[in-house]
């Protein structure tokens, strides 16, 4: 173990590259698919051992695979097997092998996370009771995927994957690079309408020139890409506000990040993510109102966002016109009191509200986590698109209470770190303010491919609180 931890940085870089090149060469030389699979498995064994034996080594491959690789072409895309799960399995085994390195603390944040996990697990029995074995199995799979993010949090804050402040800043830069690659691919995918890498959510734009799929990158749906870009848009904005000696990214890179992530967020056409990003940046401006007033960073941030809108209008004029008409129509619907602005959500919420009123005991106990889209217990499958309402119906009063406690604990921990001028605390607090609002129109905690990155940042907040 100790020898593996002392590998120089160059070895850590060249080992995966060398293995990848060897696998590629083997794929050329071996034309039989079965032999290629065996050859790849043998070559990946040393990589798996390296990730297993080196602390934190599995995190970046896991994050990169989760964001930059599509799901395997099995299932319906939203629940099919994903390569990143293999890296998570390696990380879990590595954590079990270093059981003596764990130091779990009794804190409000830890308790809130575990309480929410307990509510999800307790709901599995009701999923089996009301919806049958298939839906219960899908519910259990969703709980396991959420558990990956929880494991990342505990391992990175109180386990063997803890990082020093310098290592955490380096990891944040690597995550920024991964996010840049994902955003660029999302833009290319939208402009050229590339074939979907796997099954995807039916989210389209109807324009005079045709029907276009919304920007979703390598994710199952556009909302995930929009939420992910909002997260790193806030990171870029925080970097603009930081003093030079505490800045994680150079200011010009942060400025490019603001334009890129704002532009990708726009073409995802995710209104809830856009509103969350606006609220997050407004929170940051409020938090930094004294120091930002001197450096005029608020003005710069506004100009960069306008630049993103300007580039969108220049290079995609038809889409920009449709976007403006859609915003105008939504505004008219809001002032007229019509529910069309919610894209059908209001009818679903009314159905769930009627079920809650007619079945108080089932609502109090829950019908099973993530069973609404798969069960006919309510007459037909439903997508709540409301984290709070779905938590109540699926996990009961316990689940909703745990969710509210979790939001409060995240904001409290991040606020205290922010007051100590923590970069991660500022990033997480501002972003989660937007998330608590976006949860009214999206099931944020089901975005399992990006949630581990969010909770890794939260882990750094917890680490800085203890320091």
**Mean pLDDT for all residues in the chain:** 83
Q: Is the pLDDT of residue 335 over 50?
A: no
Report phi then psi at 6, rounded to 5: -95, 10
CA–CA distance, 249 with 171 (Å, rounded to integer): 12
Closest listed residue to residue 451, CA positions, set 367, 97, 413, 442: 442
Judge whether 365 lies within some domain: yes
Alpha helix ranges (H) inside 54-98: 59-68, 84-97
| Of the candidate ranges 33-47, 62-76, 240-254, 322-336, the one whose mean pLDDT is the lowest | 322-336
pLDDT value of residue 2: 39
- The total number of structural domains in the chain stands at 1
pLDDT band at 15 (very low <50, low <70, confident <90, very high): low
Average pLDDT over residues 355-374: 90
**pLDDT of the residue at 246:** 76
**pLDDT of 397:** 95
Q: Categorize the per-residue pLDDT at 290 as very low, low, confident or very high, splitting at 50, 70 and 90.
A: confident
Q: What is the sign, positive or negative, of the torsion defined by CA atoms of 312, 269, 200, 279? A: positive
What would the pLDDT profile of 197-219 be if each residue is shown by its tens digit? 666 766 777 676 667 788 888 88
Distances (CA, A) of 215 to 1, 385, 454: 44, 19, 21
430 Cβ neighbours under 8 A, 6+ residues apart: 234, 237, 238, 280, 281, 283, 284, 287
Pick the more confident residue, 232 or 350.
232
Cβ atoms of 298 and 461 within 8 Å: the answer is: no
Whether residue 221 lies inside any domain: the answer is yes
**In the predicted structure, residue 8 carries a pLDDT above the cut 50:** no
Higher pLDDT, 67 or 80: 67
Confidence (pLDDT) at 39:
59
The band of 332, judged by pLDDT with boundaries at 50, 70 and 90, is: very low
**pLDDT for 325:** 62
More confident: 112 or 332: 112
How far, in Å, CA of 437 to CA of 167, rounded?
32
Task: Answer yes or no: is 261 within a domain.
Answer: yes
Distance CA 198, CA 75 (A): 9
Q: What is the pLDDT of residues 228-280, one digit of tens each?
A: 999 999 999 999 888 777 789 998 899 999 999 999 999 888 889 999 999 99
Would you say residue 120 lies in a domain?
A: no
Give pLDDT, residue 11. Answer: 44
46 domain residue, yes or no: no
Q: Once rounded to an integer, what is the mean pLDDT over residues 102-111?
A: 93
Average confidence (pLDDT) over 62-87: 77
pLDDT band, residue 373 (cuts 50/70/90): confident
Position 336 scores a pLDDT of 47
Q: What is the span of the domain harbouring residue 318?
A: 165-466
Q: Does 94 map to a domain?
A: no
Average pLDDT of the segment spanning 49-68: 90
165-192 and 222-241 helices cross at what angle (nearest 10)?
130
More confident position, 118 or 47: 118
What pLDDT score does 401 carry? 97
Please report whether residue 175 resides in a domain: yes
Alpha-carbon gap, residue 138 to 161, rounded angstroms: 30
pLDDT at 19: 52
Which of the two residues, 332 and 178, has the higher pLDDT score? 178
Q: Quick one: pLDDT band at residue 327, thresholds 50, 70, 90?
A: low
Burial of 405 (0-12, 13-18, 19+ CB in 10 A): middle
- Among 4-8, 116-120, 447-451, which is the least confidently predicted range? 4-8
In a domain, 424, yes or no: yes
> What percentage of the chain has pLDDT greater than the value 90?
48
């Amino acid at each position: 173990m100790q020898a593996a931890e002392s590998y120089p940085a160059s070895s850590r870089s060249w080992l995966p590259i060398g293995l990848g090149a060897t696998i590629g060469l083997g794929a050329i030389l071996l034309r039989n698919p079965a032999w290629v699979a065996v050859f790849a498995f043998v070559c990946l064994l040393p990589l798996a051992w390296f990730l297993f034996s080196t602390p934190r080594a599995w995190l970046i491959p896991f994050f990169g695979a989760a964001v930059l690789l599509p799901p395997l072409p099995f299932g319906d895309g939203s629940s099919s097997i994903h390569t990143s799960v293999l890296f998570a399995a390696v990380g879990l085994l590595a954590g079990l092998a270093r059981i003596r390195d764990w130091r779990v603390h009794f804190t409000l944040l830890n308790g809130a996370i575990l309480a929410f996990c307990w509510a999800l697990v307790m709901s599995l029995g009701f999923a089996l009771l009301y919806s049958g074995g298939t839906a219960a199995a899908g519910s259990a799979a969703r709980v396991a995927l959420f558990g990956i993010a929880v494991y990342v949090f505990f391992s990175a804050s109180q386990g063997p994957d803890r990082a020093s402040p310098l290592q955490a800043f380096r990891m944040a830069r690597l995550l920024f690079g991964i996010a840049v690659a994902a955003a660029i691919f999302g833009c290319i995918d939208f402009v050229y309408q590339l074939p979907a890498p796997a099954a995807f959510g039916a989210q389209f734009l109807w324009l005079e020139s045709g029907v276009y799929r919304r920007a979703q990158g390598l994710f199952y749906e556009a909302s995930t890409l929009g939420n992910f870009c909002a997260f790193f848009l806030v990171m870029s904005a925080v970097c603009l506000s930081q003093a030079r000696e505490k800045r994680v990214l150079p200011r010009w890179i942060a400025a490019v990040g603001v334009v890129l992530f704002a532009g990708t967020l726009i073409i995802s056409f995710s209104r809830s993510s856009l509103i969350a990003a606006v609220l997050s940046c407004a929170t940051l401006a409020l938090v930094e109102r004294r120091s930002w007033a001197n450096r005029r960073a608020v003005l710069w941030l506004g100009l960069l966002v306008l630049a993103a809108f300007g580039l969108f209008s220049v290079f995609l004029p038809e889409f920009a016109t449709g976007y403006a008409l859609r915003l105008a129509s939504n505004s008219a619907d809001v002032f007229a009191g019509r529910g069309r602005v919610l894209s059908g959500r209001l009818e679903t919420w009314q159905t769930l509200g009627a079920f809650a009123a007619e079945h108080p005991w089932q609502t109090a106990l829950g019908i099973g986590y993530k069973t609404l889209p798969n069960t006919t217990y309510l007459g037909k499958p439903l997508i709540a698109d409301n984290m709070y309402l779905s938590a109540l119906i699926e996990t009961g009063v316990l689940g909703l209470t745990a969710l509210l406690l979790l939001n409060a604990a995240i904001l409290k921990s991040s606020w205290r770190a922010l007051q100590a001028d923590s970069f991660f605390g500022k990033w997480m607090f501002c972003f989660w303010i937007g998330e608590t609002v976006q949860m009214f129109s999206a099931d944020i905690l089901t975005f399992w491919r990006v949630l581990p990155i969010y909770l890794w940042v939260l882990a750094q907040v917890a680490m800085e609180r203890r320091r």
